[in-house]
Copies of this chain bind each other. A is one copy, B any other.
Amino acid sequence: MDNVIMKLKSLNISMGIGETSRITGATTTQIRYWEKKGLIHPIRHEEGGNKRYSLKTLTKIIIIKNFIDDGYTLAKAGEMIKTHYQDVDTFRTIVSQRLVGLSHTDNVTRVNLGEIDNDPGFDLVIETRGQDVKVLKRARQD
Contact with B along A67-80 (1 / 0, CB 8 A): 00111111011001
Measured between C-beta atoms, what is the minimum distance from A126 to chain B in Å? 6
CA A5 to CA B78, docked complex, whole Å: 9
Number of copies: 2
Question: What range describes how many residues of A lie at the interface?
Answer: 35 or more
Q: Which residues of the other chain, B, contact A94 by a CB distance below 8 angstroms?
A: 111, 126, 128, 133
A sample of 14 inter-chain contacts (CB < 8 A) reads A3-B66, A5-B80, A7-B62, A8-B59, A13-B13, A19-B52, A87-B109, A90-B109, A91-B91, A91-B95, A94-B111, A97-B132, A98-B126, A117-B136
Least CB separation from A124: chain B residue: B135
* Contact of A113 with B135 in the complex, beta carbons under 8 Å: yes
- Residue A119 CB within 8 A of the other chain: yes
**Interface contacts beyond A4-B62, A97-B132, A113-B126: sample of 20 additional A-B pairs, CB < 8 Å, sorted by A:** A1-B66, A1-B69, A1-B72, A1-B77, A2-B71, A2-B72, A5-B80, A7-B24, A13-B19, A14-B19, A15-B19, A16-B16, A22-B45, A86-B104, A87-B102, A90-B111, A97-B128, A98-B133, A117-B134, A137-B137
